């Protein structure tokens, strides 16, 4: 092997390992700048020596091979079957009775492996000698569509299997999906760009897979869970159960869904399904439409076989849940004006219980969507809640309209509901905007965002009080908040001496917030909490970030070209620069503390916080952990070092105990940090 070939091989391995740590384990070990340097080195090597590019090269994740994604047909090595459905405990008992007729006592003796039924798009990944060769949709089960170039852009699908023991030729089956958070952020970005929003995560994932241009797929927040694999012909497998199969997939670098459980009896399966449907489902970060119950022993699976034609395995069944959909009346459509002037409609509903939660409001995204669905005030509508932060209106029930007095179609506003300025709409954009930068609604939203707990955290400044201060002419932008005095506020209605003192103290305390909080609070377009931290940690001061080039900002791992351009535009504005100077003159901190050094008490630790802590807010606890070198994550996995338990802890605590992960309380966390 030549020196260049050896270097390319080393770079591929290092980059793929770093990608797995970053996207799957959520525990990166390679710095952003170093990752970018290695990536560009490999890319340059492959451009100069095309023969060095292999099928598992990380550079293929950017979708450079557009011609490979024309949805050619692909015959699966082993047909992909489908599952029969059980909608109740009785249906599950009937399935079990049929299984006992075939396998006898071995059916129950085997036990069961229970898994989440991800509401996504089924795919099959073919690996040859451990390298991803083909990605295909399910299709009709025998023949699917070749979407190889697209699945290569999904960061948590390994281009090369880790570990050892995998067959030379293998198809790994799983689901491509989107998290609710990723889906909502994607739709928010599409609204800003004037593009139509997507209806739901499942359809969005399926559509993204079938794009002809992989660069489009790469921009969608797609994720993957594996749950099975198939090999052609007879093969000796290094395990004897479905549970061990999932463990093996994880050891090969394939992400496996959480909340799986081994059950010794059908009664335990029923309990698992009920808990999943009534409790855990609402806390998941992605959509499921039920669980999957599988006979655990592979030998018993083989004995049970499939139904006639091989369409459905007898050893597995989908335990379906009732959809989170209800009917109620659309009472009104409110118009909200955002920080950037975008007018967003919101459905006001007659309160209705969906999935154990009372729903009064639902998202409508934009006015085109209202017209497309023909939603009218007074309509009976279907509302869906499947874990989304805000429920969505699926559509009206036209047959329930009174034919003698049908509700009238809704008309989009032609003027801003707050300042009455004529609205504007750029050609080919969905968003309708108020162009008035002095619109009181825009100022209100800007200030509410600035004072929020995850921004500058000014306690006591509710929406009502911000509105009151604006209407009194006491504030006009974030800097003027720091000019408020107790005497001025005490003179306002509903302000007492004590509340004025507390608010002034909270405003003063917010001056010490780090630069990352300030950047997020300023509402820079496309800059969320995590991006604000990346910017602040990279540049250290507002002055350094202000003087940085677009290229320097884009060089940060995790900051793409559109975000970099947005940040540069914001800092190029003389008005924004003046605001920063005004804040600094009033004593607001514009620097970021250095990250924990090697002696950090929690350096490298991955920590989950669940429930309500006695004295610490969630944001404060997270900052303490990060200040000590640790990282707070949302989900429990084998990589979690310990879990901090608060009151009313739920499924995360259960999973931590099941995995044998250490559980501590707030007092012990503070002791370890040294507080």
Altogether, the residues listed in the chain come to a count of 675
The β-bridge partners of 86 are 319
Nearest alpha-carbon partner for 279 in 654, 675, 565 = 654
Backbone angles phi, psi at 9, to 5 degrees: -65, -40
Show which residues are catalytic: 117
CB 483 within 8 A of CB 552: no
3-class DSSP state of 112: strand
Q: With beta carbons less than 8 A apart as the criterion, state whether 223 and 134 touch.
A: no
Residue among 415, 430, 424 at smallest CA distance from 367: 430
Closest among 183, 100, 169 to 133, alpha carbons compared? 169
What is the 8-class DSSP label of residue 130?
T
* CB-CB contact of 502 with 477 (8 Å): no
Query: Which class for 394: exposed (0-12), middle (13-18), buried (19 or more C-beta within 10 A)?
Result: middle
**Burial tier of 639 (Cβ tally within 10 Å: 0-12, 13-18, 19+):** middle
DSSP string, 182-215: HHHHHHHHHHHTT-PPPS-HHHHHHHHHT-SSHH
Q: Helices marked H in 237-346 — which ranges?
A: 242-251, 266-275, 298-304
Kind plus residue range of the DSSP H or E element containing 88: none
Question: In a 3-state reduction of DSSP, which class is residue 660?
Answer: coil
Residue for token pair 């309708």: 432
Helix (H, G, I), strand (E, B) or coil at 96: helix
Q: Using CA atoms, how far apart are residues 492 and 243, in angstroms rounded to an integer?
A: 65
Region of 417 on the Ramachandran plot (φ > 0 left; ψ -120 to 50 alpha; else beta): alpha
Q: Tell me the C-alpha distance between 520 and 307, whole Å.
A: 56
Residues 6 or more apart whose CB falls under 8 angstroms from that of 416 comprise 337, 343, 422, 423, 434, 436, 439, 441
DSSP 428-453: T----B---TT-HHHHHHHHHHHHST
Element at 628 (helix H, strand E): none
Distance CA 109, CA 667 (A): 45
Other CB atoms within 10 A of residue 123 CB: 28
Q: DSSP assignment of 576-599, as one string?
A: HHHHHHHHHHTT---B-PPPP-TT
Rounded to whole angstroms, what are the CA distances from 400 to 10, 113, 378? 65, 44, 10
For residue 461, the tally of other CB atoms under 10 A from its CB is 23
Answer for the pair 385, 402: CB distance below 8 angstroms, yes or no: no
Cα-based angle 69, 72, 76 (whole degrees, multiple of 5): 115
Rounded Cα gap, residues 83 and 638, in angstroms: 29
């Amino acid at each position: 092997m030549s020196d260049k070939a050896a270097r390319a091989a080393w770079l591929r391995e290092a980059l793929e390992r770093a990608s797995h740590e970053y996207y799957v384990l959520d525990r990166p070990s390679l710095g952003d700048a170093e990752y970018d340097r290695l990536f560009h080195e490999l890319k340059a090597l492959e451009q100069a020596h095309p023969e060095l590019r292999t099928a598992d090269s990380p550079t293929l994740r950017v979708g450079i091979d557009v011609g490979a994604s024309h949805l050619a047909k692909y015959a699966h090595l082993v047909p992909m079957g489908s599952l029969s459905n059980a909608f109740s405990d009785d249906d599950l008992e009937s399935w079990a009775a049929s299984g006992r007729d075939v396998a006898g006592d071995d059916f129950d003796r085997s036990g069961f492996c229970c898994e989440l039924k991800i509401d996504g798009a089924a795919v099959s990944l073919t690996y040859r000698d451990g390298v991803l060769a083909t990605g295909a949709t399910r299709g009709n089960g025998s023949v699917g569509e070749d979407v190889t170039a697209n699945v290569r852009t999904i960061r948590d699908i390994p281009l090369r299997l880790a570990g050892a023991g995998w067959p030379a030729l293998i198809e790994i089956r799983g689901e491509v999906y989107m998290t609710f958070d990723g889906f909502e952020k994607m739709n928010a970005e599409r609204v800003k760009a004037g593009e139509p929003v997507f209806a739901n995560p499942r359809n969005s994932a399926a559509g993204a897979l079938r794009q002809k241009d992989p660069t489009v797929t790469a921009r969608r927040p797609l994720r993957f869970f594996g749950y099975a694999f198939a090999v052609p012909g007879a093969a000796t497998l290094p395990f004897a159960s479905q549970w061990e199969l999932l463990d093996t997939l994880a050891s090969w670098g394939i992400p496996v869904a959480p909340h799986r459980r081994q059950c010794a009896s059908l009664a335990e399966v029923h309990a698992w399904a009920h808990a999943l449907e009534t409790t855990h489902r609402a806390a998941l970060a992605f959509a499921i439409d039920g669980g999957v119950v599988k006979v655990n022993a592979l030998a018993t699976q083989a004995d049970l076989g499939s139904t006639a034609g091989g369409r459905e395995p007898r050893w597995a069944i989908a335990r379906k849940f009732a959809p989170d959909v209800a009917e109620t009346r659309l009472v009104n459509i409110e118009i909200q004006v955002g920080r950037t002037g975008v007018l967003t409609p919101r459905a006001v509903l007659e309160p209705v219980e969906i999935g154990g939660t009372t729903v009064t409001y639902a998202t409508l995204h934009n006015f085109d969507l209202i017209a497309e669905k023909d939603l009218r005030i007074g309509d009976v509508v279907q509302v869906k809640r499947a874990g989304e932060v805000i429920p969505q209106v699926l559509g009206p029930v036209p047959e329930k309209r009174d034919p003698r007095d049908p509700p009238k179609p809704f008309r989009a506003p032609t003027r801003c509901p707050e300042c009455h300025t004529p609205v504007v709409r750029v050609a080919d954009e969905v968003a309708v905007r108020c162009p008035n930068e002095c619109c009181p609604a825009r100022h209100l939203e800007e200030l509410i965002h600035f004072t929020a707990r995850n921004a500058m955290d000014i306690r006591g400044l509710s929406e009502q009080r911000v509105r009151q201060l604006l209407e009194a002419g006491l504030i006009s932008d974030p800097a003027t908040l720091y000019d408020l005095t107790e005497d001025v506020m005490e003179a306002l209605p509903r302000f007492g001496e004590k509340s004025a003192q507390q608010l002034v103290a909270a405003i003063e305390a917010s001056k010490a917030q780090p630069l990352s909080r300030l950047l997020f609070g300023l509402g820079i377009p496309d800059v969320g909490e995590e991006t604000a931290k990346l910017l602040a940690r990279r540049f250290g001061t507002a002055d350094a970030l202000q003087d940085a080039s677009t290229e320097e900002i884009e060089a940060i791992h995790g900051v793409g070209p559109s975000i970099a351009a947005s940040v540069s535009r914001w800092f190029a504005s003389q008005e924004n620069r003046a605001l920063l100077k005004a804040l600094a003159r009033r004593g607001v901190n514009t620097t970021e503390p250095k990250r924990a050094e090697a002696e950090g008490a929690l350096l490298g630790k991955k920590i989950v916080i669940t429930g309500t802590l006695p004295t610490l807010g969630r944001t404060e606890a997270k900052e303490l952990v990060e200040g000590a070198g640790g990282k707070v994550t949302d989900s429990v996995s084998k990589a979690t070092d310990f879990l901090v338990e608060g009151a009313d802890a739920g499924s995360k605590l259960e999973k931590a105990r099941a995995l044998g992960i250490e559980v501590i309380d707030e007092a012990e966390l503070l002791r370890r940090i040294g507080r």
